[in-house]
Amino acid sequence: MRSHFLPLFLFLLLVACQPHPYRSSNKMQRQQLKQMIKNLKKEPLVPISDTIVQPPYWVGTTNFNWRRPGFVIIHHTAQNSCSQTLKTFITPAAQVSAHYVICKDGTVHHMLNDYLRANHAGISRWGNMTDINSLSIGIELDNNGFEPFDSLQINSLLSVLGNLKQQYNLPTANFIGHGDISPTRKNDPNFRFPWKLLAAKGFGLWYNDTLAPVPPDFNHLQALRIIGYDMRDTTSAIRAFKRHFLQDTTRKLTEVDKQVLFDLQRKYF
């Protein structure tokens, strides 16, 4: 019996002796969290002013909770490897991050607590919402932007999305791409991303197989606005829509595109 345990013991000993490549950045995150918790424990102060009546004592409400994420934003990393992305996200000067990084082989790095705010969306807009970072969870897929997404990676993504949807009771429509919320700046995840598959699993809306004719008074710009696109640059909004729902990167709406858009606006409305 003892001889059977020896190889396992040696393996565990070898693993334990391996240097942890992210030890210092993990320590830095723990220090930041410690400071945040310390700040949370402080009693809120009334601003000092002669015109404000100061209470004799502080009264703290017992009715509170964490701010809950309402959206999931999917990205591609636009880098050449998972390790390169991890390095970027632990570099303070980069000032970019995400909650999850999913490698090509399906490995999932949960880099930040879901309740904390990651720097993944940048300057963005969806409907009337502009501070998307404060409302969302960011998921980065290891992909340079010019290649298909590995099935192992997508399987892991579906698993993560299922957990997030259940845990935070996320609406089906609230699974979108970085290119959807930042159409003038971003195109991720690239047009090869399987949005239809995700929609079939309950992560994002999709159009019906049978499409109705478009009425003569159909306003395609208004329809894009109803879905959520930022219409300050209509060409970019159209391209973002076509990339997501038609796997097309061209700029003009065809009649079929308009039929898809007409069908979708009724689902988002």
Nearest to 262 by CA among 230, 226, 234: 226
Q: First-to-last CA distance in the chain?
A: 66
The answer to whether 127 touches 228, Cβ cutoff 8 Å, is yes
Residue 43 is a catalytic residue: no
Side chain identity, residue 115: Y
How many CB atoms within 10 Å of residue 185? 12
How many CB atoms within 10 Å of residue 225? 17
Which residue among the candidates 43, 140, 147, 255 is catalytic per the annotation? Answer: 140
The answer to whether 249 touches 145, Cβ cutoff 8 Å, is no
Please state, in angstroms and rounded to a whole number, the distance separating the CA atoms of residues 93 and 158: 31
Distances (CA, A) of 256 to 110, 176, 194, 245: 40, 22, 19, 12
Write out the catalytic residue numbers: 140
